[in-house]
Amino acid sequence: MEQIVLTGFMGAGKSTVGKILAKKLALPFVDIDTEIQSEHQISITEIFANLGEPAFRKLEHQMLTRALLQDAIISTGGGIILANDNRLKLEAADFVVYLKTSPDTFLSRLKGDTTRPLIQEKSKDEIIAIFEARTRLYESAAGLIVETDNLTPEEIADQIKQDFQTRKEQL
């Protein structure tokens, strides 16, 4: 299957890199959060506020399951790896890439962002604690880890494309 799944913390660049990678590989781009919002005509923030995080995680799992049925570049939400069912699906996926970003980088990117419900009204230390609790999960689900701090989105996409094509040739 022609499929790359991008994982990583909020602000890692999954959507940005995913769009570039989709163009480079001539594959559809699927952003799980965007698909949920489009299908349900409600923002992620509103889902969290009105239905709660468990309801969002259920929708996220359903969308991941659907996305994994197609050839595509798939951008996941930062919390997708929290659910064991999702981790199992990622382990079975074709090619999972963890975009590893340092706290300084993602905190800078997230500054002033009001669209991410899990970080609203949280201190810098609380956000870093969420990241640290997830790091091992991201790493264990990934077939490739790309350290993104000193790379442009274009360079990240090129690195992923090269690794993906090399692995395909070896199969």
Residue 52 is labelled as binding a ligand:
no
Residue 15 is labelled as binding a ligand:
yes
Q: Are 89 and 60 in contact (CB under 8 A)?
A: no
AA identity, residue 158: D
- Measured CA to CA, the distance from residue 25 to residue 3 in angstroms comes to 10
Residue 134 is labelled as binding a ligand:
yes
Read off the DSSP letter of residue 112: T
Name the residue among 18, 17, 9 with its Cα closest to residue 103. 9
Residue 16 is labelled as binding a ligand:
yes
Residue 13 is labelled as binding a ligand:
yes
Residue 167 is labelled as binding a ligand:
no
Residue 149 is labelled as binding a ligand:
no
What ranges in the chain are assigned the alpha helix state H? 14-25, 32-40, 44-51, 53-67, 84-92, 103-110, 124-141, 153-170
Numbered residues of the known binding site for substrate: 33, 57, 78, 134
Numbered residues of the known binding site for Mg(2+): 15
Numbered residues of the known binding site for ATP: 11-16, 116
Numbered residues of the known binding site: 11-16, 33, 57, 78, 116, 134
